[in-house]
Every structure is written in structure tokens, then in C-alpha cells.
């Protein structure tokens, strides 16, 4: 009996991982928090218009949605959605205490309180303009007040300051501020940005608050200041800050996630050694404003792994306190995360868990911690973790929500390999490589697979080492995939991150080209079928690689930047000065902007391109996409363009996610000469395909 598999060309392999599988039952887990014996998390659900639902898991294991079921016949304004627009990317939109939830609602950006078994009630005033106030990173101040970051887009405020204003405010949760806006008390104002307010109590020093702040043109991964202040409470509970002072950070030191331990010490992560590592400020000591590393011995420069990351969004948590003055933390190195325990004497113990990506670490009840962890074969899910004591501590894991059934056996899943490869100027770059995998077919002899080079956004971000069906969609059809951590990516220390200073459009492009060439030279990809794709900043790298190099034979730009000058002149506050560091100050460095903008060098385009864009994108406006499409049309190059209604920066609606992915596969089939096994509607208006 023959067991030979049928020969099918790469790209045409039949796969059960359809584009629809990406969104069927999908509920991406974001932030996780504990409230007594309950654990809460938010789920982003493409099948519900991309909204964020809050889920409570009780001690008995039952899971309960906070908001009523999604009504597709109703407008977004009538479907609750726990999502904030602070810094446009959001995060940190909710908090829970004693069963009471406070959340920012996407439609109007106001804060709402939800008591147990009750409906949401607004607790912030109606702004002058729609969505005029936005809120993030809620911290409880007793049971009756919260401290929160407020971003004001009110026309009078913007007119006075020239941009939105970010402040830390305190407000009562009983709703009294709705009728009396004066009850919203400004605690911190002045810096261009404030983030991550946190409160703690010391038995001798009383209530304290810490927060992060920074000013243009810095981004938070360039440098932030950690400020500590005392909190005095009036008889009516209104807080007032005294003795504010900077205790860490600066223009060349990035601090993230400040938090207080149970005894009132301030712990935070700083990259002063070249890697984000946890440090402690000993409250009550003689040198209480002189922090010390939690990792010993510091003579080695600390732990050569990242406990921390880029503050693109609020709500990020990389460490929490365990019993015995221990710290449970993430550590990122070589393209993967792991859990570690830092003992009271500074020794680091890696923990044996299946996780390759860990996006949240918070304290939970009874000595447990709550984490969001993913593996190469499992999508991120909420877990409880209990860590034993001793030199080789035991680890107990409890998964709080089962993985969705994706309908495929594990032998369909391609696992990533971390690869390092030479790039321009003698640099070494890094990536996650996924080989094609399909147990039902084999490729014709000597046929190499087409390669999809994926470029992450940011550009100060990183490839994610976890099961993502958006990658398996390609590998199960016979594509190889490489997700590039080009110079400038996080997870490899500050010096590697700084490689992109003034070099955006150069280093990232060179590393993308080097990744494709490396895999082709290793015989792992067909040099004549190399594609590059990316979204946002990754879309810019995609366009620049196609414009200034001839290695790639096709590309896909998802809401990508075409004109750097237009982006510098027309984008939101958070990134309005980002390009000062990546390219140069605007408009003084206009010549550099022009030289690196693909829109000014369309004569360099020679490969087919598909462009995908949301019509409500305020980070990269649709005009950017349309400029490239017009240039391609003028030159007569094969191309396709899809504009998605109701999408912002990144696609969240199920139908649009499906259509975008299927259209890209159809596009590659037309360019590389294979017929996808899937039935795909051709892209209307495509030219030359």
C-alpha cells in the first residue's frame, strides 16, 4: 500500500485554516486583573464589530460577560465597548475593585461605573465636543475615588495648547462629577505626556503616588521620568500631592511600570543597564531616593533580557510581587518570553512553563498570579500561576479559558525558529522563521516555497512568538514565513533598539532584505517568489523595500506610510514628534524625509503591490494609501486597492479581516503563478492581474 502524498505546488496547498477561521470564535485576551477570588480580563472580539468585552471568571470557574450580548442591528453607540482612545492606541481602559467595574466606553469615551448586577452609569461629565475627554490607566484611591490619566481633546484646550493635553486627575466614582465637573481634580499637569499612575501605602510615610512623564520629542522608549509624590487627603477624600520629585529616568533612560509592594517600596523597570530590568526604591531608608537593582550581581550589567517593553498602550504589566519579597516577572530574550522569579537576595530563577509569549503578569488571590500566556501551538489565554519556594520552585498552572477549537491537529502547526543572520554594515539581525507545513501534501521535487517576509509595526515593537493563525494561514498553504525583528525592535536591549535612531527606512529595510536573502541562500525560499508585507510602520518598510531594492517580487501594504513628510505634518499627538528621532526634526530635515519617502521615488517600483486601508484611520490617513495607488496606476504597474469602511488603524471587523487576507492570497496567486485551493472573489478594480 502506498503512503505517498499528492504533489501540489507551493501556495496551492489546501488548508483547513481559512481566513474565516481567524475570526470564528476569536476573542483575543488583552489585560487581566484580579478582584478577590475573581479574575477579570478583556476580550477583543472581531465577530462583535471588534469590540472589547469584559469577562469575569469566578472562583468556581464560571465565566460571565459584563456587557449584554452584541446586537448587530444596533449602532456601536448602543453596544458597550471597553476601549479607550488615549494616545490613539488605547489600553488601560478599565479597572475592577470589590465587584465594581469602571471602564471607558469607546463610543463616547466617558467613564462608566458598573455595580454588580447593574447597568453602566456615567461618572464623568459630558464633554463640550464628542469624545472630548479620554481616560486610561485607572487606579483606585480608596473605595470612592479613582486616579486616572485624562487626555483632553476639547476645542478650547487644543486651541490654547496647540494639541491635546494629558493630565492625571482624580474623580469620585459615585457620578457626582457628572453634574459638578469641578469635582474632577487635576493632580498632575504640565508634561506633554503622563502615564501609569500608581498608589501605595507605607506604614510610616503614608499614601504615595508615582507616575511616568515625558516631553516631546521623546517617545517613552527613549526616555521617561519616574516621579514620586506624597498624597494628602482632605476630609472629603479629595487628594492633594506634595513633595513631587524625580527618582529615576531621564532623556536617555526609559522607565516603565512603576508599582508599590505591600510594604510600600516602589518597584519599576528601567533600561539604564541596557536592558529593561526591575529596580527598587527602598521607602524609609536613608537613601530612599537612590534605587537599587533587584537583580544581582549588577556587576554583569544586570539581566540580559527585557522585563519591560515599549509603552505603545496603557495597561501593560511585566512584573508582580509574590510572597517572601519575591518578584514574578517576564524576561524576553532571543525572540521569546519566559517567566522568572527574582528572590529577595537578587537571584534569578527561570521557571519551566510552556509559554513563549507572556503579555500580562499581575497578583491574584491566595498566593497565585494571573498571566496572559501563549505558546507556539496555543493562542494567548488567561492563566493562574502558583510558584513554589526554593532553588528549583515548582510551578502550578491553571488555564481559565479553553482555547477555541480551530479544527486542526497539531501536526498542521508550524513552530517558529529564532534565526540570526548578517545584515548591512556588519550588523546582526534577528527573526522568527516558520517553515511551510501541511501533513496532506508534499511539494514537487526541488520546488522551493514562496516566502512572506512580515514586518511588524511600531517600528519600535517586536515579532510575537505565539500561535497566530494569520501566520499559519500562509504556512499551511505552502509558504515559508519570516517575521523580522529588524534593528530598532524591542526585546534585544537598548543598543539594538537605538539602531533605528535617524535610520528608519534604512536599517529596517536592509534587515528585511537580508532576511529574505539569507533564507533564499539557505535553500529555504524561492528567490523568485519573495513577498513582503506589513502594517502601519511595517507598511512603510514594505513600500521602502519595494521602492529602493529589487529583491522582493510582490508586496502588501496594510495602512502603510507612503509620505514621511505628510505623516510628520498630519498625525496624532503621541507620534507627532516620533519621526524626529527616526528620521530627523521636521521640517529642518525635509530633504531626508523626501529622500526616504516612497511616494517621491515611484520610479523605483517594479513589483506588483496590493494596498489595504481603513477609511477612518487617523494615524495613517487614507490619503497616504491613495497617493501610492495613484502612482502605481500612473506607472502602469499591476496593483490592487481595498478601502474598508468603518476601520481605524488596524482591522478589527470580522468581514474586513477575512476579505483582506483572502484578497492578499488571491493577489500572490496571480503574481506568483499558482491557483489557491480556496475559492476567492477577485479584487474588484485590480489592474494588470
DSSP letters, 350-396, are E---S-SEEEEEEE-GGG-EEEEEEETTEEEEEEEEEE--SSS--EE
Decide which of 152 and 624 is more confident: 152
Residue 620's pLDDT is what?
82
Residue 1's pLDDT is what?
37
Q: What nine digits make up the cell of 45?
A: 472580539
Residue 290's pLDDT is what?
85
Residue 287's pLDDT is what?
61
- Helix (H) or strand (E) segment spanning residue 135: strand 133-141
Domains parsed from the chain with CATH numbers? 324-404 (no CATH), 410-672 (3.40.50.1820)
Please report which confidence band the pLDDT of residue 483 belongs to, taking 50, 70 and 90 as the band edges: very high
Q: What nine digits make up the cell of 154?
A: 476639547
The average pLDDT across 255-264 equals 96
Q: What is the pLDDT of residues 647-660, one digit of tens each?
A: 988 898 999 999 99
CA distance 609 to 487: 25
Q: Is the pLDDT of residue 270 over 50?
A: yes
Is pTM beyond 0.85 here? yes
CA distance 382 to 34: 11
Q: What is the pLDDT of residues 576-599, one digit of tens each?
A: 999 999 999 999 999 999 999 999
CA distance 4 to 147: 65
Is the sign of the CA dihedral 411, 413, 419, 425 positive or negative?
positive
Residue 303's pLDDT is what?
84
CA distance 343 to 349: 8
Query: In the chain, how many H helices and how many E strands?
Result: 11, 36
Which residues, at least 6 apart from 215, have a Cβ–Cβ distance to it below 8 Å? 191, 192, 193
Which residues, at least 6 apart from 411, have a Cβ–Cβ distance to it below 8 Å? 437, 439
DSSP letters, 7-21, are B--TT----S--GGG
When mean pLDDT is compared across 126-130, 628-632, 637-641, the lowest value belongs to 628-632
Q: What is the pLDDT of residues 77-86, one digit of tens each?
A: 789 999 999 9
DSSP letters, 479-526, are -EEEEEE-TT-SSS-HHHHGGGTTTTTTHHHHHHHHHHHHHHHTTSS-
Residue 581's pLDDT is what?
97
The average pLDDT across 15-23 equals 95
- Helix (H) or strand (E) segment spanning residue 624: helix 622-635
Residue 3's pLDDT is what?
61
Please report which confidence band the pLDDT of residue 2 belongs to, taking 50, 70 and 90 as the band edges: very low
CA distance 70 to 170: 32
Mean pLDDT computed over every residue of the chain:
94
Longest CA span, the chain? 86
Percent of the chain topping pLDDT 90: 89
Percent of the chain topping pLDDT 70: 98
The average pLDDT across 342-351 equals 93
Residue 238's pLDDT is what?
84
When mean pLDDT is compared across 96-105, 204-213, 580-589, the lowest value belongs to 204-213
The average pLDDT across 99-103 equals 98
The average pLDDT across 253-257 equals 98
Residue 106's pLDDT is what?
97
Residue 286's pLDDT is what?
52
CA distance 97 to 19: 39
Length of the chain: 689
Q: Is the pLDDT of residue 73 over 90?
A: no
Q: What nine digits make up the cell of 3?
A: 503512503
Q: What is the pLDDT of residues 296-327, one digit of tens each?
A: 865 445 689 999 999 999 999 999 999 989 99
> 107 near 99, Cβ under 8 Å?
no
CA distance 229 to 660: 49
Please report which confidence band the pLDDT of residue 235 belongs to, taking 50, 70 and 90 as the band edges: confident
The average pLDDT across 141-167 equals 96
The average pLDDT across 189-216 equals 95
DSSP letters, 625-667, are HHHHHHHHHHHT--EEEEEETT-BSB--SHHHHHHHHHHHHHH
Q: What nine digits make up the cell of 236?
A: 472629603
**Strand partners of residue 422:** 428
Residue 275's pLDDT is what?
96
| CA angle in degrees (0–180, nearest 5) for 220-225-226 | 115
**Strand partners of residue 118:** none
**Strand partners of residue 327:** 321, 342
> 619 near 571, Cβ under 8 Å?
yes
Q: What is the pLDDT of residues 659-689, one digit of tens each?
A: 999 999 999 999 999 999 999 999 999 999 9
The average pLDDT across 358-371 equals 97
What are the angstrom distances between the C-alpha of 46 and each of 19, 358, 650, 653, 658?
12, 22, 12, 5, 10
Which residues, at least 6 apart from 613, have a Cβ–Cβ distance to it below 8 Å? 558, 559, 620, 622, 624, 625, 626, 641, 642, 643, 644
The average pLDDT across 385-406 equals 94
Kindly report the number of other CB atoms within 10 A of residue 100's CB atom.
Answer: 16
Residue 619's pLDDT is what?
78
Q: Is the pLDDT of residue 56 over 70?
A: yes
- The one-character DSSP state at 687 is B
CA distance 444 to 207: 69
What are the angstrom distances between the C-alpha of 56 and each of 37, 66, 91, 276, 487?
10, 7, 18, 32, 40
- The one-character DSSP state at 478 is T
> 249 near 257, Cβ under 8 Å?
no
Amino acid at each position: 500500500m502506498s503512503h505517498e502524498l499528492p504533489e501540489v505546488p507551493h501556495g496551492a496547498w489546501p488548508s483547513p485554516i481559512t481566513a474565516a477561521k481567524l475570526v470564528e470564535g476569536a476573542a483575543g485576551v488583552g489585560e487581566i486583573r484580579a478582584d478577590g477570588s475573581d479574575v477579570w480580563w478583556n476580550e477583543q472580539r472581531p465577530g462583535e464589530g471588534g469590540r472589547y468585552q469584559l469577562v469575569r471568571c469566578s472562583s468556581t470557574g464560571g465565566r460571565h460577560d459584563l456587557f449584554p450580548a452584541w446586537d448587530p442591528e444596533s449602532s456601536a453607540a448602543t453596544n458597550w465597548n471597553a476601549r479607550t482612545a488615549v494616545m490613539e492606541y488605547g489600553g488601560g481602559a478599565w479597572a475592577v475593585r470589590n465587584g465594581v467595574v469602571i471602564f471607558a466606553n469607546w463610543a463616547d469615551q466617558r467613564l462608566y461605573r458598573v455595580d454588580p448586577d447593574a447597568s453602566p452609569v456615567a461618572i464623568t461629565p459630558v464633554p463640550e465636543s464628542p469624545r472630548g475627554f479620554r481616560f486610561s490607566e485607572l487606579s483606585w484611591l480608596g473605595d470612592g475615588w479613582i486616579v486616572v490619566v485624562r487626555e483632553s481633546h476639547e476645542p478650547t484646550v487644543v486651541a490654547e495648547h496647540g494639541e491635546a493635553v494629558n493630565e492625571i486627575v482624580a474623580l469620585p466614582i459615585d457620578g457626582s462629577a457628572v453634574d459638578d465637573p469641578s469635582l474632577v481634580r487635576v493632580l498632575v499637569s504640565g508634561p506633554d505626556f503622563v502615564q501609569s499612575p500608581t498608589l501605595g501605602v507605607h506604614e510610616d510615610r503614608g499614601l504615595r503616588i508615582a507616575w511616568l512623564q515625558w516631553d516631546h520629542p521623546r517617545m517613552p522608549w527613549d526616555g521617561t521620568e519616574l516621579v514620586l509624590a506624597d498624597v494628602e487627603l482632605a476630609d472629603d477624600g479629595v487628594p492633594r500631592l506634595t513633595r513631587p520629585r524625580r527618582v529615576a529616568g531621564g532623556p536617555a533612560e526609559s522607565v516603565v511600570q512603576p508599582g508599590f509592594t505591600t510594604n510600600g517600596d516602589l518597584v519599576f523597570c528601567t533600561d539604564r543597564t541596557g536592558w529593561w530590568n526591575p529596580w527598587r526604591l527602598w521607602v524609609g531608608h536613608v537613601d530612599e531616593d537612590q534605587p537599587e537593582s533587584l537583580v544581582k550581581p549588577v556587576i554583569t550589567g544586570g539581566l540580559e533580557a527585557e522585563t519591560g517593553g515599549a509603552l505603545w498602550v496603557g495597561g501593560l504589566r511585566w512584573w508582580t510581587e509574590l510572597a517572601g519579597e519575591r518578584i514574578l516577572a517576564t524576561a524576553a530574550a532571543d525572540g521569546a518570553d519566559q517567566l522568572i522569579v527574582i528572590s529577595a537576595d537578587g537571584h534569578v530563577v527561570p521557571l519551566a512553563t510552556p509559554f513563549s509569549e507572556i503579555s500580562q503578569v499581575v497578583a491574584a488571590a491566595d498566593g497565585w498570579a494571573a498571566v496572559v500566556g501563549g505558546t507556539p501551538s496555543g493562542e494567548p489565554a488567561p492563566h493562574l500561576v502558583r510558584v513554589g519556594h526554593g532553588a528549583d520552585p515548582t510551578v502550578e498552572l491553571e488555564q481559565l479559558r479553553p482555547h477555541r477549537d480551530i479544527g486542526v491537529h497539531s501536526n498542521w502547526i508550524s513552530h517558529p525558529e529564532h534565526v540570526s543572520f548578517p545584515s548591512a554594515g556588519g550588523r546582526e539581525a534577528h527573526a522568527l522563521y516558520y517553515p511551510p507545513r501541511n501533513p496532506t501534501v508534499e511539494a514537487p521535487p526541488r520546488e522551493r516555497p514562496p516566502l512572506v517576509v512580515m514586518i511588524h509595526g511600531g517600528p519600535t515593537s517586536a515579532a510575537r512568538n505565539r500561535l497566530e493563525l494569520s501566520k499559519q494561514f500562509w504556512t499551511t498553504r505552502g509558504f515559508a514565513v519570516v517575521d523580522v525583528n529588524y534593528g530598532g525592535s524591542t526585546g534585544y536591549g537598548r543598543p539594538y533598539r537605538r539602531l533605528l535612531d535617524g535610520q528608519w527606512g534604512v536599517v529596517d529595510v536592509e534587515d528585511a532584505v537580508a532576511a529574505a536573502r539569507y533564507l533564499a541562500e539557505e535553500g529555504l525560499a524561492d528567490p523568485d517568489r519573495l513577498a513582503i508585507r506589513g502594517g502601519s510602520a511595517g507598511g512603510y518598510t514594505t513600500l521602502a523595500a519595494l521602492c529602493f531594492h529589487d529583491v522582493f517580487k510582490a508586496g502588501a501594504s496594510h495602512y502603510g506610510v507612503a509620505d514621511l513628510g505628510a505623516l510628520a505634518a498630519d498625525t496624532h499627538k503621541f507620534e507627532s514628534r516620533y519621526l524626529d528621532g527616526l528620521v530627523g526634526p521636521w521640517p529642518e530635515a525635509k530633504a531626508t524625509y523626501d529622500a526616504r519617502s516612497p511616494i517621491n521615488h515611484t520610479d523605483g517600483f517594479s513589483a506588483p503591490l496590493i494596498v489595504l486601508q481603513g477609511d477612518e484611520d487617523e494615524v495613517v490617513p487614507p490619503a497616504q494609501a491613495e497617493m501610492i495607488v495613484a502612482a502605481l496606476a500612473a506607472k502602469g504597474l499591476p496593483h490592487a486597492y481595498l478601502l474598508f469602511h468603518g476601520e481605524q488603524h488596524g482591522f478589527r471587523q470580522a468581514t474586513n479581516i477575512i476579505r483582506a487576507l483572502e484578497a492578499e492570497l488571491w493577489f500572490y496567486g496571480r503574481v506568483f503563478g499558482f491557483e489557491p485551493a480556496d475559492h476567492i472573489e477577485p479584487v474588484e478594480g485590480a489592474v494588470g492581474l
